[in-house]
Every structure is written in C-alpha cells, then in structure tokens.
C-alpha cells in the first residue's frame, strides 16, 4: 500500500496560504512597530491584540494619537494597564513630533 499522506503546509497560491502569509506580514508589521516604540521588547505582549483589532499602525495613529499623547481609550481598548507601558507609547509619539489625524 502507498504510504499515508502527511499534512504539510498549504501549496503556495492557495487561499489558506495567502491568508497565512497576510497574517504573518501583519504580525511582523506590529512587531516592528512595538520594537520601534520599545527596543527592549516589553510591549510585544500587545502584538496579538493589535493584530486582531486593527488593520495598521496608521489606523491606530489616526484613531488614537493626539499631539503629545495617545487617547486613554487606546490603552483601554488594548487591555494595557501598566503606566510604564503607556509612558513608552506616549514617549514614542512625542519623539515623532506630532500625532496622527485624531485630535
């Protein structure tokens, strides 16, 4: 008899492979941003929440970024309760010189 088939990765070009690639790319986008905000990596625990709830960093900035600070609703929506983590996000925003569209 022929050997049993083993489940391997989906063939390139299949919808599942395309979705997996898109999810991987989105995850890398969030990871890159979180590492930019905090190179030490203390914010990486928020990657899944960001990936699951937002399309892009630009979307987060448009919704939540003021001139010098993020809207507190960002931290609430993200499930962030650490003042130290919030300070990292605020510091990153200030270092950019200006916020996003929301004001």
Beta bridge partners of 65: 70
Flag whether pLDDT at 13 surpasses 90: no
Q: What is the DSSP string of 55-76?
A: S-HHHHHHHHB-SSSB-HHHHH
Residue 69, burial from CB neighbour count under 10 angstroms (0-12, 13-18, 19+) = middle
Distance between CA atoms of residues 2 and 65, nearest Å: 59
Flag whether pLDDT at 22 surpasses 70: no
| pTM across the whole model | 0.71
In Å, how far are 26, 49, 101 from 11, measured between CA atoms?
20, 28, 41
């Amino acid at each position: 008899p022929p050997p049993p088939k083993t489940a391997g990765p989906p063939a390139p070009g299949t919808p599942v492979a395309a979705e997996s690639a898109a999810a991987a790319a989105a995850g890398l986008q969030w990871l890159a941003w979180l590492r930019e905000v905090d190179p030490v990596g203390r914010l990486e625990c928020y990657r899944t929440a960001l990936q699951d709830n937002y399309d892009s960093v630009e979307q987060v900035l448009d919704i939540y970024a003021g001139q010098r600070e993020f809207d507190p609703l960002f931290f609430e929506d993200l499930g962030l309760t650490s003042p130290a983590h919030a300070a990292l996000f605020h510091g990153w925003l200030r270092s950019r010189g200006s916020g996003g569209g929301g004001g």
